[in-house]
Structure 1
Amino acid sequence: MQDFTTCRKSGGIFVPVAGLTVFAIASGYLMSLVPLSLTNFKIDSSYASWLASIYYIGLLIGSMMIEPIIAKIGHRVAFITFLGLLAATVAVLPMFPNKEVWLFARLIAGMAVAGIFVVVESWLLIGDNAKERAKRLGFYMTSLYGGTTVGQLAVGMFGVKGFIPFIVILVLLLIAILPPLFVKQGQPSSDSHQVLSIKQIARLSKPAIIGCMTSGVVMGSIYGLMPLALKQSALTTDQVGVLMAATILGGMVIQPVISKLSIKMSKTLLLALMSLLGVFAMGITYLSSDYVVLITALALLGMSAFALYPIAITLACDNLDSSYIVAATQVMLFSYSVGSALGPIGANSFMAEQNGIMDFFFIVLLATAIYMLVASLHRKPQVLAS
Structure 2
Amino acid sequence: MSITKAAGKATIWVPITGLGIFAIASGYLMSLIPLVLDQNQFPAQTAGWMASSYYLGLLLGAVIVEAIIAKIGHRQSMVGFLALTALTVGGMMLWSHPNIWVFLRLVAGIAVAGVFVVIESWLLICDSAKQRTRRLSLYMLVLYGGTALGQLLISALGASGQAPFILIITMLLVSLLPPMLVRGAKPPVTEHQAMRWKDIRALNKAALFGCFISGMLLGPIYGLLPLFLTQQRMNEAQVGVVMTAVVVGGMLVQPIISLFAGRGKKIWQIACCALLGVIAVEGVIMSGSSQMTVISYMMLGMASFAIYPIAISLACDDIRPEQVVSATQICLLGYGVGSVAGPLMAGAMLSMMPYYLLACMVATFASLVMGKNRTLAMPQ
Alignment of 1:74-89 (within 5 A): 74-89=73-88
Once the two structures are superposed, residues 84-139 of structure 1 have per-residue CA deviations (whole angstroms, 9 ceiling, x without a partner) of 11111122234333332222111111111110011101111110121121122122
Separation in 2 of the partners of 1:328 and 1:94?
36
Once the two structures are superposed, residues 21-59 of structure 1 have per-residue CA deviations (whole angstroms, 9 ceiling, x without a partner) of 111112222223333443222124444344323212211
Matched, 1:159 2:145: no
Separation in 1 of the partners of 2:178 and 2:7?
15
Alignment of 1:309-348 (within 5 A): 309-348=308-347
Separation in 2 of the partners of 1:160 and 1:365?
36
CA apart distance, 1:80:
0.8
Separation in 2 of the partners of 1:376 and 1:80?
46
Indicate if the aligned counterparts of 1:125 and 1:137 stay in contact, CA closer than 8 A: yes
CA apart distance, 1:228:
3.4
The equivalent residue for 1:58 is: 57
Matched letter for residue 198 of structure 1: W
TM-score (norm 1): 0.90
The equivalent residue for 2:216 is: 217
Indicate if the aligned counterparts of 1:36 and 1:228 stay in contact, CA closer than 8 A: no
The equivalent residue for 1:365 is: 361
Separation in 1 of the partners of 2:107 and 2:51?
12
| SS of aligned partner of 1:193 | coil
Indicate if the aligned counterparts of 2:125 and 2:188 stay in contact, CA closer than 8 A: no
Once the two structures are superposed, residues 336-365 of structure 1 have per-residue CA deviations (whole angstroms, 9 ceiling, x without a partner) of 1111122222222123x2xx3323222222
Alignment of 1:205-244 (within 5 A): 205-244=204-243
Flag the 1:125–1:153 CA change in 2: closer, same or farther, 3 A.
Answer: same
Separation in 1 of the partners of 2:65 and 2:297?
33
Indicate if the aligned counterparts of 1:28 and 1:149 stay in contact, CA closer than 8 A: yes
CA apart distance, 1:281:
1.8
Q: Which structure 2 segments of 5+ residues have no match?
A: none
Separation in 2 of the partners of 1:103 and 1:250?
32
Separation in 2 of the partners of 1:238 and 1:36?
16
Q: Which moved more, 1:281-290 or 1:125-134?
A: 281-290
TM-score (norm 2): 0.91
The equivalent residue for 1:193 is: 192
Identity, % of aligned positions: 44
CA apart distance, 1:305:
1.1
The equivalent residue for 1:105 is: 104
CA apart distance, 1:251:
0.8
Flag the 1:33–1:344 CA change in 2: closer, same or farther, 3 A.
Answer: farther
Separation in 2 of the partners of 1:281 and 1:225?
18
Flag the 1:30–1:204 CA change in 2: closer, same or farther, 3 A.
Answer: same
The equivalent residue for 2:33 is: 34
Indicate if the aligned counterparts of 2:46 and 2:102 stay in contact, CA closer than 8 A: no
Q: Which moved more, 1:109-118 or 1:131-140?
A: 131-140
